């Protein structure tokens, strides 16, 4: 039975911010090719680039009150920059997909199974 996975893409935002327009365009082309590769295997279910971590808002509820703060949950060297949703046969295939992700050599790809409550 196929399993859905989130491929969570982490990297240093400063590197992306310092990239030239040509470098960014090349990276977007690589991701387009990667999407084609995933679709060819029937694995792609979705994915998106995320806005920078400085645009994040964290929400908590304490004693029935909603509290929100600007910024990411924690300050780290790598920030969550995007994700792909895939569906494949097993973790080995998900790891194969993660290893082909264009920016996997410049950051970390976390492979996480999606809970199926059905």
The pLDDT value given to residue 112: 96
**Residues making up the chain, counted from first to last:** 118
Report the predicted TM-score, pTM, of the whole model to 2 decimal places. 0.89
Answer yes or no: are the C-beta atoms of 9 and 100 closer than 8 Å.
no
Catalogue all structural domains in the chain, each as residue range(s) with its CATH number. Answer: 3-113 (3.30.70.1060)
The pLDDT value given to residue 74: 66
In Å, how far are 14, 46, 66, 107 from 78, measured between CA atoms?
9, 22, 28, 7
Q: For 39-79, what is each residue's pLDDT tens digit?
A: 999 999 999 999 988 888 889 899 999 999 887 776 678 88
Phi, psi of 79 (to 5 degrees): -120, 155
Q: For 5-28, what is each residue's pLDDT tens digit?
A: 999 999 998 899 899 999 999 999
């Amino acid at each position: 039975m196929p399993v859905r996975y989130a491929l969570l893409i982490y990297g240093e935002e400063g590197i992306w911010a310092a990239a030239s327009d040509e470098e960014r365009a090349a990276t977007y082309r690589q991701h387009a090719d990667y999407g084609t590769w995933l679709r060819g295997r029937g694995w792609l279910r979705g994915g998106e680039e995320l806005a920078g971590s400085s645009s994040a808002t964290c929400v908590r509820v304490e004693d029935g009150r909603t509290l929100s703060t600007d910024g990411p949950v924690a300050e780290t060297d790598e920030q969550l920059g995007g994700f792909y949703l895939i569906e494949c046969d097993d973790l080995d295939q998900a790891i194969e997909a993660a290893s082909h992700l264009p920016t996997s050599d410049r950051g970390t790809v976390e492979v996480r199974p999606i809970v199926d409550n059905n």
